[in-house]
Amino acid sequence: MNTQTSGSPSPIDFLRSGRMAEVNVAILGDVVLDRYLAGSTVRVSREAPIPVVVCSGEADNLGGAGNVAMNLRGLGCRVFLAGTVGRDEAASRIRRHLEEKGVEARLFDRSVPTLTKTRLLCGGQQVARFDHETVEPLEAPAVEESLAWLKALLAVGAVVLSDYGLGFCTSELCSAVIGAARARNIPVFVDPRGRDWDKYRGATIATPNLGELAAICGPILNEDGAVVRAGEKVRRETGLEWLLVTRSARGMTLVGEGKVVHVPARPLEVYDVSGAGDTVIACLAAAVAAGFPIEEAIRFSNEAAQVVVAKTGTYPIAASDLCAASRRELVSQEAAAEICRRWKEEGQKIVFTNGCFDILHAGHIDSLERARGLGDRLIVGLNSDRSVRTLKGPGRPVNSEENRARVLAALRCVDLVVLFDEDTPAALLSELRPHVLTKGGDYQADALPGREFAGEVVILPLVAGLSTTEILRKGRIP
C-alpha cells in the first residue's frame, strides 16, 4: 500500500480539501434495499396480545454493498458498484438511489426478488425487522462478467468485497477478484461473513466485528489480549495481510505484519449500529486509496463509525459530518466553503459569528450558545494573530490562533472554526454566505462588514461586566 510522506495532510485535511474526488473505489457485493416504516403505538390489538403500530411515514435507502457505495460517495469518491437485483419495484428504487448519488453500477439480474430489509420503528427505536433474502449464488457467467467489468475500470485505488452471505461473493468470485486486483497492486478490503474465509486468501485486510471473528475461532472475550491472539491466528490461517476487528464500545484492534494497534472508541450514546461496518470499510478503503498509512486510515474510519452509530437507521457518512466531528485543527476557508455548501444542500440553516476570543469567558459562551440556537450549524470566524494585533495592539493576542481555535472547537455549540487574516470577515462571508450573521454588543446591523452576504443579521446582547480587555486590565475574571 502507498504511504504518505512526513508532513503530509491527515485524512481529515485531505477530505476538507475536496481531494477525495480524486479517489476511485470499486465495490462488489450483496446490494440490499433498506426500508423503514415509522409510526407510533397507543393500543393493543384485539386479535392478539401485540401492539398496533400506526404507520406515519415510509422511507428507504441502500444497505449492504449499496451502503458502502453511499458512504464512499458521501466522502466524495468516485464509486463503481457491481451486484445483483431482482426484476421488481425494489430494484427500481435501488437504481434510482444509485443514479441520484452518481454511483456507476453494473447490476446483474436475480431470478428471485431483490434483497430487502424492512425495519419497523416506533419512537425512533427499532421494534421489528422483516427480511426478504433468498440466497442465490452468483452463476459462472456473472462471475466472468464481474471480473471483466473490474479489469476494464481505469485507475481504481481500492477494491471492496462486501460479503453479506447472500450469494454474490462466491468463492470463485472472491478468489478471482483478489487475484486480479493484487496483480495490479490494488489493495482489496473484505467485509467477511460466514465460516469460509479461505475465499478471502490474499486480501489486504478483512474487517470483522467480534461476533464474525468468533464464528471462525469460537467465543472471544472483548479484551485486548484475547482479541489480538484470536485475530492473529485467523489472519495467519486465512492468508490475510491485516485484520481489523471492530469491538463496539472497545473501539478497534488492528493486527498484522508484527504490529498491533488499538484504537479506542469515544464514550457516546449509541442509537443504531446498522451499517456501521459499511462505514468502517468505506472510510478505510478511501483513506488507503488516497495514500495514507493503515494506522491513520483506521483512526479515520473509527471517527466515522462514531458519527453513524449516533444516528437512527442506516446512515451513510458525509464529508461534512466528519469535518464537523474532527475540529481539532483550523479549517481552511476553502474547506469551510465546501462544508457550508454541503450543509446547505442537506437543508441545514447556517449561522455565522466572528471575533478574537482571546480569553474565553462566560460572555462569549452566552453569545455563542444564543447564536447556535438561531440555526442548525454555527460557524465561528476567528481573527488570526496578525489581525488581532492590528485590532487590539502589539500585546495581543494572549493566546495563539491555534490555541484559541482548539478551545472554541471543543464547545458543543460550535460546529466549525475558520481563520481569517483580514481586519473584518467580509471576504470570508462572501464565500460562506450564511443564512444568519450574528454579532454581540452595541453594533448596528446595517454597519457590520459582510452583512450583504448573509440572509439576516441578528445583534445579540452582551453579558454586563465581561470583556477580555477588562479581564486583562484587572488581572482577574469578575
Q: Determine which of 1-15, 50-64, 163-177, 259-273 has the lowest per-residue pLDDT on average.
A: 1-15
Average confidence (pLDDT) over 343-367? 87
What is residue 266's predicted lDDT score, i.e. its pLDDT?
62
pLDDT at residue 115, rounded to an integer: 95
- Residues 209, 302: Cα–Cα separation, whole Å: 13
Q: pLDDT tens for residues 249-258?
A: 788 999 998 8
User: What average pLDDT does range 273-286 have in this prediction?
Assistant: 88
Helices (H), 155-313: 171-183, 210-217, 224-238, 276-289, 294-308
Nearest Cα residue to 305 out of 359, 251, 341? 251
Confidence of residue 1 (pLDDT cuts 50, 70, 90): very low
Residue of 278, 321, 358, 385 marked active site: 278
- Per DSSP, the three-state class of 474 is helix
In the chain, the domains with their CATH numbers are 11-325 (3.40.1190.20), 333-474 (3.40.50.620)
Please state the rounded mean pLDDT for residues 367-393: 91
Q: Give the pLDDT mean for 409-432.
A: 89
Predicted TM-score of the model (pTM): 0.69
**pLDDT classification of 7: cutoffs 50, 70, 90:** very low
CA 69 to chain centroid: 12
Q: Which amino acid is at 203?
A: A
Between these two residues, 82 and 268, which has the higher pLDDT value? 82
8-22 tens-digit pLDDT: 468 887 887 788 999
Q: Is it the case that residue 159 has pLDDT exceeding 80?
A: yes
Q: Given the C-alpha cell 481504481, which residue does it identify?
A: 156
Q: Is 278 an active-site residue?
A: yes
Instruction: Please report which residue ranges of 64-121 form alpha helices under DSSP H.
Output: 65-75, 89-101
Q: Is the pLDDT of residue 469 over 70?
A: no
* Mean pLDDT within 338-346: 81
pLDDT at 463 over 70: no
Is the bond into 425 cis (omega within 30 degrees of 0)? no
Q: Mean per-residue pLDDT for 119-144?
A: 88
Place of cell 479489469: 151
Q: How far apart are CA 36 and CA 8, in angstroms?
A: 42
> Is pLDDT above 80 for 311?
no
- Render pLDDT for 105-118 as a digit per residue (tens, 0 to 9): 999 999 999 999 99
If one counts every other C-beta atom within 10 angstroms of the C-beta of residue 456, the result is 13
**Predicted pLDDT of residue 268:** 52
pLDDT at 472: 60
Average pLDDT over residues 122-139: 87
52-65 pLDDT, tens digit each: 888 888 889 999 99
**What cell numbers appear for 325 in the block?**
466531528
Q: Evaluate whether 157 touches 23 at the Cβ level (below 8 Å).
A: yes
Segment 451-461 mean pLDDT: 92
Confidence band for 199, pLDDT divided at 50, 70 and 90: very high
Q: 280-289, 394-403, 419-428: lowest mean pLDDT where?
A: 394-403
pLDDT of residue 280: 94
Element (H, E) at 218: none
| Mean pLDDT calculated for residue range 123-135 | 86
Q: Under a CB-based contact definition with an 8 Å cutoff, are residues 79 and 27 in contact?
A: yes
* Phi, psi angle pair for 160, to nearest 5°: -115, 130
More confident residue, 57 or 437: 437
| Predicted confidence (pLDDT) at residue 329 exceeds the cutoff of 50 | no
| Residue 297 and residue 44 in contact, taking contact as beta carbons nearer than 8 Å | no
Q: Is the pLDDT of residue 384 over 50?
A: yes
- For residue 349, is pLDDT > 50? yes
Q: In terms of C-beta density within 10 A (0-12 exposed, 13-18 middle, 19 or more buried), how is residue 215 classed?
A: middle
**25-43, pLDDT tens digit by residue?**
999 999 999 999 988 888 8
Backbone angles phi, psi at 351, to 5 degrees: -115, 140
Higher pLDDT, 241 or 407: 241
Query: What pLDDT was estimated at residue 231?
Result: 94
| Arithmetic mean of pLDDT, 153-179 | 93
Report the share of the chain in percent with pLDDT over 70: 90
Is 70 exceeded by the pLDDT of residue 312? Answer: no
What is the pLDDT, as a whole number, of residue 137? Answer: 93
Alpha helix stretches (DSSP H) within 126-269? 140-152, 171-183, 210-217, 224-238
Measured CA to CA, the distance from residue 292 to residue 286 in angstroms comes to 9
Q: How many CB atoms lie within 10 A of CB 7?
A: 5
For 330-346, what is the mean pLDDT?
78
More confident residue, 151 or 445: 151
What is the average pLDDT score of the chain? 87
**Confidence (pLDDT) at 363:** 82
Share of the chain above pLDDT 90, in %: 56
For residues 431 and 340, the model is more confident at: 431
Are 56 and 2 spatial neighbours (Cβ–Cβ below 8 Å)? no
CA distance 124 to 294: 36
85 falls in which pLDDT band (50, 70, 90)? very high
Helix axes 140-152, 171-183, angle to 10 degrees: 20
Q: What is the pLDDT of residue 273?
A: 63
**Residue 86, pLDDT above cutoff 60:** yes
